[in-house]
Amino acid sequence: MAENKKHKPKILILATISGGYAGADSVGQLHTDYPTNTYILPVLCPCIFPEEFYLRCFEQGIDAILVMYSGTDSPYKGGPERTAVMINQTYPLMKERGIDTRRLRLAAICTVCTKPFLKEVTQMDTLLKGIGFVRDEMTIPEAVQ
């Protein structure tokens, strides 16, 4: 894999401990390879994140965000719905800033959803290979660097 020499677009995965994070662990247990430009952070429920959070991520140079929540399996009442609301509210704000909305995706991943997990990751990776870094397309309101 010689192409690894350079910095690649980064995918941040926000995965619920009861769903996506455990699903990622299952993928690991199967020893299935996927790209290394993926960074998984555990969350209790992604409904914690306001729109600004996602926007800030892109501003900081995160090129894509996969939110892997537990969907209907969520242990939190109203959590999944609220997550969806927050993300839907983020899309127009992304557009305003010229960010391709495909960079933010919400997916329901269960503890053994190894195939969907891999599908999401590879799809996003392929997308990024096409559209490149977020910084290159962003219109940054304030002068940042």
Partner 1 sequence: MSESTNPKKKEEKDEEVRIGVYTCYCGGNISDAVDCEHVKKVMTDLPNVVVSRTDMSMCSDAGQALIEKDIKEKGINRVIVGACAPSLHEQTFRGTVARAGLNPYLYHHVGLREQDSWVSHGDYRGATCKALNLMTAGVAKTRLLAPLEPIRLEAEKHALVIGGGVAGLRTALDTARRGIQVTLIEKSPFLGGRMAQLGKVFPTDEDACATLDKLIQKVASHPKVTIFTQAEVTGVSGYVGDYQIKILQQSRGINNDIAEAVLDADMPKVPDAFNYGLTERKVIYKAYPGCYPPTPAVDWAHYNGEPIIVNGQPTIFYNKPKNFDLKVGAIVVATGFKPYEPRAGEYGYKELPEVVTLPQLIRYLELDKTTRTLTWAGRAVNDIALIHCVGSRDTEGVHEPQADGQVNNYCSRVCCTATLHMANELRERFPDTNIYDFYEDIRTYGRGHETYYQKALEGMVRFLRYRGIERPEVVAAPEGDTHPVLVRAKDSLSQGEEMEVAADLVVLAVGMMPTQVDELVQMLKISRGVDRFLAEVHPKLRPVETAVNGVILAGTAQGPMTIQESVAAASAAAVKVAVLLGQGEVQLDPFVAYVDPEKCDGNGACIEVCKYEDAIKMETVTINGKDVKRAVVTPANCAGCGGCVSACPNRAIDIQGWTLDQYDAMVDAIALDLWDLMEVPA
Contact residues for partner 1, defined by CB under 8 A = 1, 4-7, 10, 12, 17-18, 22, 24-25, 27-29, 31-45, 47-50, 53, 56-57, 60-62, 72-79, 82, 86, 110-112, 114
Q: Closest separation between CB of residue 43 and partner 1, Å?
A: 7
The residue ranges of DSSP E strands in the chain, in sequence order, are 11-16, 38-43, 64-69, 104-108
Q: Is residue 91 within 8 Å of residue 62, measured between CB atoms?
A: no
The nearer residue to partner 1, 18 or 66, going by C-beta atoms, is 18
Q: Closest separation between CB of residue 53 and partner 1, Å?
A: 7
Q: Closest separation between CB of residue 139 and partner 1, Å?
A: 18
Nearest in space to 16 (alpha carbons), one of 53, 49, 63: 49
Cα–Cα distance measured from residue 136 to residue 27, given in angstroms and rounded to the nearest whole number: 32
Largest Cα–Cα separation, the chain: 46
The nearer residue to partner 1, 43 or 127, going by C-beta atoms, is 43
Q: Closest separation between CB of residue 76 and partner 1, Å?
A: 4
The nearer residue to partner 1, 18 or 105, going by C-beta atoms, is 18
Q: Is residue 54 within 8 Å of residue 90, measured between CB atoms?
A: yes
